[in-house]
């Protein structure tokens, strides 16, 4: 392992071992942008961890955007009126099944990944304050996590595209502004964020690469599933 500017990198051979693939496949993943090369023969170690976590999540077929938000609403103890009665009933049953599975919380993160596309951007002083007014923030205080002072929240996909053009936002995998882009009804998301029981915050945190956030989110998400199965989603 090599260290440069406070960041940790590994050689291609070590990356192949960690990913359990060939060196040629490591190169292909780099070409696809699924892991990050930082120099000739060196791979960013964090990108390997991100890829492994996402690969685990992606083993589960993702639900549609509407179904994913339906699951979030049900776990939040809120009414779902954008899905049919049969579809809602099946979704309730699937959530109860996940509650009985020790890996249910992890699978739920993968199933609901289509609720939004997570975009990260570089922050430049005044931008954080301006963009914070554009998003639907989700408090993490119930998880024992401090709400970030940086931008992290949901935003309409078309609105985000407009802001990218207006401010020249630069995407960066290490950026400290997180915009969760979705085409779902923003008014419903605001209701979930303001009146929900914290299930959305748990879901967001459970998908984080930060070990503390991931752990807190996963534990809370498992609890939300259990409460839902017991008919106590409003607790």
pLDDT digits (tens, 9 = 90+) for 209-234: 777 888 999 999 999 999 999 998 77
Let me know whether 41 and 84 are in one domain. no
Average pLDDT rounded to a whole number, residues 128-153: 87
The model's pTM is 0.78
> Residue 50's domain spans which residues?
2-57
Q: Is the pLDDT of residue 153 over 50?
A: yes
- Between 120 and 59, name the one with better pLDDT: 120
pLDDT digits (tens, 9 = 90+) for 21-54: 899 989 888 887 778 887 778 998 878 877 776 6
Q: Please spell the DSSP secondary structure of 92-122, one letter per residue.
A: HHHHHHHHTSTTHHHHHHHHTGGG-EEEEE-
Let me know whether 47 and 75 are in one domain. no
Strands (E), 184-226: none
Let me know whether 131 and 49 are in one domain. no
Let me know whether 120 and 177 are in one domain. yes
Q: Is the pLDDT of residue 162 over 60?
A: yes
Let me know whether 131 and 203 are in one domain. yes
| Strands of the sheet with 152-156, listed across from one edge | 117-121, 177-182, 152-156, 136-137
Q: Could you tell me which residues are beta bridge partners of residue 156?
A: 182
Q: Is the pLDDT of residue 64 over 50?
A: yes
Q: Is the pLDDT of residue 174 over 90?
A: no
Q: Is residue 235 part of a domain?
A: no
Let me know whether 151 and 106 are in one domain. yes
End-to-end CA distance of the chain: 47
Let me know whether 130 and 16 are in one domain. no
How far, in Å, are 100, 130, 131, 134, 151 from residue 127 at the CA level?
44, 5, 6, 11, 9
The number of distinct structural domains making up the chain is 2
- The model's confidence at residue 120, banded by pLDDT at 50, 70 and 90, is confident
The encoded tokens of residue 154 equal 């949901």
Let me know whether 7 and 108 are in one domain. no
**Burial of 211 per CB tally in 10 Å (0-12, 13-18, 19+):** exposed
Let me know whether 111 and 150 are in one domain. yes
Average pLDDT rounded to a whole number, residues 45-66: 77
Let me know whether 225 and 165 are in one domain. yes
How far, in Å, are 123, 160, 207, 229 from residue 132 at the CA level?
11, 12, 21, 35
Let me know whether 23 and 78 are in one domain. no
Let me know whether 51 and 142 are in one domain. no
Residue length of the chain: 235
CA distance 32 to 20: 18
Q: Is residue 234 part of a domain?
A: no
Q: Is residue 208 part of a domain?
A: yes
């Amino acid at each position: 392992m090599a260290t440069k500017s406070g960041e940790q990198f590994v050689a291609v051979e070590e990356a192949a071992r960690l990913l359990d693939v060939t060196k040629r496949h490591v190169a292909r993943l780099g070409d696809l942008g699924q892991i990050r090369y930082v120099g000739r023969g060196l791979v960013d170690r964090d990108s390997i961890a991100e890829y492994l976590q996402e690969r685990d999540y992606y083993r589960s077929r993702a639900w549609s955007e509407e179904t994913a938000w339906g699951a979030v609403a049900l776990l939040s103890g809120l009414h779902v009126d954008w899905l049919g009665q049969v579809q809602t009933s099946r979704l309730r049953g699937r959530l109860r099944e996940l509650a009985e599975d020790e890996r249910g919380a992890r699978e739920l993160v993968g199933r609901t990944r289509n609720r939004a596309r997570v975009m990260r951007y570089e922050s430049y002083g005044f931008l954080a304050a301006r963009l914070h007014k554009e998003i639907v923030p989700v408090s993490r205080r119930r998880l024992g996590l401090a709400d970030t002072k940086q931008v992290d929240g949901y935003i309409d996909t078309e609105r985000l595209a407009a802001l990218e053009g207006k401010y020249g936002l630069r995407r960066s995998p290490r950026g400290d502004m997180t915009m969760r882009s979705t085409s779902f009804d923003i008014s419903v998301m605001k209701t979930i964020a303001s009146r929900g029981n914290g299930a959305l915050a748990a879901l967001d945190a459970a998908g984080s690469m930060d070990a503390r956030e991931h752990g807190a989110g996963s534990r809370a998400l498992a609890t939300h599933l259990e409460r839902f199965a017991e008919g106590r989603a409003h607790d």
